[in-house]
Structure 1
C-alpha cells in the first residue's frame, strides 16, 4: 500500500476512479525498480493488483462505488518457472558453470543424504517435517505444541509467522485452505517426540543455571525458548546445504520436494492438495508434482511394455477376453 498504491493512486477521488487511470498507474509502477535495482516483476504487479482489487471490492460492498475498476486492469502474464529435478546431468552442469534452475528439487537420494547430514542439527525435526509433510516456512515457524497431537499422529496448521521487511507478523494461515490437518507417519511422530524431550531438558538446564528460558509453547525455538525468525530458517538451510556439498535449493523447494515425493510414492492429487493446503487441485498438479526420474522411467517402461504386448499375435483377442 505505502510503496505502490498510495504514491500512484492516493491523490485520486475514489468515486471517479477509472480503469484507464489504474492502467496508467500500473504502467508507472512497472518501470520503477525493486530493491535489487531491477524492474518490478510481473509477480509483484499481480500482488499489488490483488491488494487493490480486494480494497475496491470492499468499497463496492459498502456502497461507496458501484463497480470495481480493477477488473479492467491489464497486467503482463506471470512467468511460472518449471520445477526441475537435480539430475546427475544438471548437477554436473551446475558444478562446471554455476548455472542452476530457478526452481529445483532434490531426488529422494539427495534428500536422504541431506537429512542424514543434518541429523545432529538442532533443527533436524524442522527440516524433516518440511521435507516430508510440506509445511510452509511460516507454518513451521509458528507451529505450537498445542496444535500437535502425537498420540493421534497429526498436527493442525492454524497460524504462521511471516515477515514484512525484518519484522515478524504472526497470524492465521494465508488462506482458508491453508488451515488444515496434516497426518504424521510413525517415524515423524518419533522425531517430534524426541525433539520435545530435548527441548524440555534444555529448558530445565537453562533455568537451573539461572538463565532465561521462555516457554511460549512453540515447537521450534532458539536456546532461549523464543520462536525463530523465519528469515533465520532460510539462512540456516542455505548454510547447511552448502556444507553438505549438495546442489542448492531454497527452503520453499523442500515443500516442492515433499509433494514430488508423495506423488512418486503413489499419493493421489487430492491427498497432496489437502496435505499442502492448496485451494485448487490444479495448483497442486501444475506447480508441485514434478515427476521424479525413477517414477518417470517406471511410467515409460509400463507404457512400452503395454505397447509391445499389444503387438504380439492374439494379444487383441486376449485383451478383449480379459475385459
Structure 2
C-alpha cells in the first residue's frame, strides 16, 4: 500500500475469500504480490456540494500508477466536477428531488414514482459524470420490457414521462456544473402519439358490447350527452356535470370552484384555483398554468342552474343547523352534505356509477372535457374561443386533440362539399346564366332570378345550341362560296 499525505491512498485488492469464514481476505491474500492478481483502488477525501468532507473510493485499475493518476485527476477538479465523478445517479436523483421546492405536489409525486420505480433500479448504480446515451438507451430498453399494473408492457407515453423526469434531473446537474452536457437530450425513444377522441357511433357501441374494447378517449354524441344530463337531472351534482359538459372545466377546477368566483348577475365564472390529488391527499392551489386562469361567460340556462344550486345548498344548511347537525359554510359551489368541499376522486367514481346506471357507453370524467370542445366546435364556435374556454396555452392542442367533428356536423360538411362539386360539373350552366345576365343588362331588361333547370332541360338546350351553331356555320360557308371574287 502506498500512502500519500493529504492525497489519500492507493491499495491493491482482490476478490479472494477465506476458505473457512467465506469473507474477503483483503490485504491478507498471499497472491496480491503476483502480477495480474487483483486490481488497484484509491481512497481520498473531497468536499461535496454542501461543503461537507466525504470519502471517495474508486477501483478496478490495472496498475498502481493508473489508480494514482485517476486520483490526482479527481482532486484537480472543481468541487462540482468532483461530485459528478464521485456521486452515483441514485444520489444525485434523490438530492435533486429534495431541492425541488416550487413544484406542485402532484408533479413531485410523479417525479418520485419515476425515480424510485424505474430510474434508480436501472441506472442508479452508474456514476453521474460518466453517463452516456448508450447506457440510457439500454436502460430504457429494459424498462420497456417491464409491465404496468394492468400486466401490459410499458407504453410509449410512460417511457416519455420517465424520460422527461430524467431529462429535468440531468438538466439540473448540468446547471450545477456536475456534468458537461445532458446525455438524456441525445436519447432515442419511440414517439408518443396523443390519442384522438373517437365518437361513440352505433358501430363502435356494437363492437364495445361484443368485445369489451373501448377507445382510449371516447366522446358522446350530442344526443347521448343530452340523454345523460336528463338522466342525472335529480342528482345532487347535476350542476357540476352540466358545467363540465358545457364549459369543459377540469375535474380539479370544478371541485375547487367557490361562490366568490361566480357572478350570476353578470353571468360569468372565473377559474382561479383547483383541487388536485397526490395519491389520496388533496392539494388546493392555482390552476394548472397561466392560460388556465380564465373567466368564462355563462348562458341564461347555466345561470338558472347555478341559482338553483345555491338555493338548494342554503336550504340544506338551514335544515341541518335546525336539526342540530354540523354544516360548514365553506363557500364552495359543490360540497358534501356537511358543507365541506368534495374529494376530486369522488367525482370520478360518481360519474362512472351514473354512466353505468344510465346504460350509456363508458366515458371518463376528462372525456366530458373533450366532448365540450367538440360540442362547441359543432355549434360554430371558433377555435380561438374554444382554446380560451378550455384554458389551453396552445391553440394547436385544442385543434389537434380536443376537437372532434360530431356526426351531424360531419354530414352537413359532406353534403355541402358534394353539392359544390356537382354544381361545378354541370356543363355550361354557369356560363349560360352569365350570358343571360349580360343580355338583360344590355337591353335594359329587369333581371330575373335564374330558373332551376332539370338535367333533361339542360341537355335539350345544349343540343339546340349546337344545332343553331352548325346551321349558322353552314350558311356562312355557303355565302362565302357564292360571293364573287
Report the Cα offset of residue 174 of structure 1: 2.5
* Matched residues, number: 320
1:5 aligns to what SS in structure 2? helix
Report the Cα offset of residue 10 of structure 1: 4.2
Report the Cα offset of residue 62 of structure 1: 4.5
Per-residue CA deviation, residues 213-237 of structure 1 (Å, 9 max, x unaligned), is 2233222111112222222111111
Per-residue CA deviation, residues 192-223 of structure 1 (Å, 9 max, x unaligned), is 12112211221222222222222332221111
Q: Which runs of 5+ in 2 are unaligned?
A: 1-111, 438-485
Q: Tell me the distance in 2 between the aligned counterparts of 1:318 and 1:287.
A: 45
Q: Indicate the residue corresponding to 1:132 in structure 2.
A: 246
Report the Cα offset of residue 14 of structure 1: 4.0
Q: Which moved more, 1:69-78 or 1:233-242?
A: 69-78
Q: Indicate the residue corresponding to 2:366 in structure 1.
A: 252
Q: Indicate the residue corresponding to 1:315 in structure 2.
A: 430
Q: Is the 8 A contact 1:105 1:256 kept in 2?
A: yes
Alignment of 1:161-176 (within 5 A): 161-176=275-290
Q: Tell me the distance in 1 between the aligned counterparts of 2:396 and 2:312.
A: 41
Q: Which moved more, 1:25-34 or 1:53-62?
A: 53-62
Alignment of 1:152-301 (within 5 A): 152-301=266-415
Q: Is the 8 A contact 1:310 1:316 kept in 2?
A: no
Which has the larger Rg?
2
Change (3 A) 1:70 1:229: same
Change (3 A) 1:200 1:112: same
Q: Tell me the distance in 2 between the aligned counterparts of 1:157 and 1:62.
A: 37
1:142 is aligned to 2:256: yes
Change (3 A) 1:54 1:94: same
1:182 aligns to what SS in structure 2? strand
1:116 is aligned to 2:230: yes
Report the Cα offset of residue 13 of structure 1: 4.4
Q: Indicate the residue corresponding to 2:442 in structure 1.
A: none
Name the TM-score, length of structure 1 as normaliser: 0.90
State the superposition RMSD in angstroms: 2.3
Report the Cα offset of residue 306 of structure 1: 1.1
Q: Indicate the residue corresponding to 1:92 in structure 2.
A: 206
Name the TM-score, length of structure 2 as normaliser: 0.61
Change (3 A) 1:86 1:6: same
Per-residue CA deviation, residues 113-160 of structure 1 (Å, 9 max, x unaligned), is 110110010000110001000011122112222222222222222222
Q: Is the 8 A contact 1:163 1:169 kept in 2?
A: yes
Q: Indicate the residue corresponding to 2:161 in structure 1.
A: 47
Q: Tell me the distance in 2 between the aligned counterparts of 1:270 and 1:318.
A: 40
Report the Cα offset of residue 38 of structure 1: 2.3
Change (3 A) 1:167 1:213: same
1:169 aligns to what SS in structure 2? strand
1:4 aligns to what SS in structure 2? helix
Q: Which moved more, 1:34-43 or 1:271-280?
A: 34-43
Q: Which moved more, 1:303-312 or 1:259-268?
A: 303-312
